[in-house]
Amino acid sequence: MPILEINNVTKEFGGLTAVSNLNLNVSEGELIGIIGPNGAGKSTVFNLITGIYKPTKGTIKFKGQDIGGMEPFKISKLGIARTFQNLRLFKNLSVLQNVKIANQTFAGYDILSAIFRNQKYKAQEKEIKENALKLLEIVGLSEFINEKAGKLPYGFQRKLEIARALAMKPSILLLDEPAAGMNPDESLELMEFIGKIRKDFDLTIILIEHHMEVVMGICERILVLNFGKTIVEGTPEEIQNSPEVISSYLGE
Ligand code: ADP
Ligand code: MG
């Protein structure tokens, strides 16, 4: 059984069909790429999977359970985490605080204990800090834990955003243009990073990305969207040789 099943999903905004009859099955452990021009509907697919938008039509199942239109925090608790195309870090907080907050949100922080600062609070606080430190070590940000997030070089901010998503202990990670704004060297480094966290955290990953060398380098299967519709789906080789993709997307 696929871990994620998207069946005939359509999303309309007024007269605009952002996603049209989308079908996508994702197996556990797979790394799938979604590419397509601006406005093709890629981010909308993530917003549908994470409950930010409710499908106009169709069903979305995660591990067999219908999650279409479920509240976003419930979906993230089930094990679907994401990053955003535009970074959403707390720029004035430290790197460590950024990860701790994500972890607290996930752990259902006990607010009463926090107010009274009792034993339970201290134990919870200690565990959250340890988890965050461990996570930051794995993603290679240990030396920056006390830096303000907004002061980090851009590539590290992208990694921190991913670390925050990993703090939710997901089984599926959705990455929306993680290499946006990176130069070719940085995006290749990010590609290796994605491969590493995939192994370390046993993840299924869906990756939206414009940097073709990244998508072609790590994805096993790629979906090409245009005007909300799938034009082609296939291996990197199939995509690169597809006449539809070459004419409509790569523009050659
Ligand atoms: P991509 O990520 O592929 O660039 P998006 O999924 O962001 O594309 O957008 C697909 C289309 O849906 C675009 O035409 C966009 O303007 C439209 N769209 C996305 N979100 C909304 C919204 N909340 N309200 C109205 N239109 C939207
Ligand atoms: Mg987008």
pLDDT given at position 47: 97
pLDDT score of 106: 65
Q: How many Å lie between the centroid of ligand 2 and the Cα of residue 44?
A: 7
**Ligand that comes closest to the CA of residue 42:** 1
pLDDT in the model for residue 136: 96
**Which regions of the chain carry the CATH code 3.40.50.300?**
1-79+170-252
> Closest Cα to residue 228, out of 72, 50, 21?
21
* pLDDT surpasses 80 at 109: no
pLDDT the model gives residue 70: 95
Interval 152-183: pLDDT, tens = 998 999 999 999 999 999 999 999 999 998 88
Residue 151 is encoded by which pair of tokens? 């002061």
**121 Cα: distance to centroid of ligand 1 (angstroms):** 42
CA separation for the pair 172, 78 (Å, rounded): 10
Nearest Cα neighbor of 43 from 208, 203, 178 is: 208
**Which ligand is closest to the CA of 85, given by its number?**
2
pLDDT tens per residue across span 35-48: 999 999 999 999 99
State how beta strands 4-13 and 57-62 pair: antiparallel
Residue 61 CA to residue 59 CA, distance in Å, equals: 7
Average pLDDT, the chain: 92
Report the separation in Å between the CA atom of 34 and the middle of ligand 2, taken as the mean of its atom positions. Answer: 10
Q: Which amino acid is at 77?
A: K
- Residue of the nearest CA to atom 21 in ligand 1? 13
What CATH code is assigned to 1-79+170-252?
Answer: 3.40.50.300
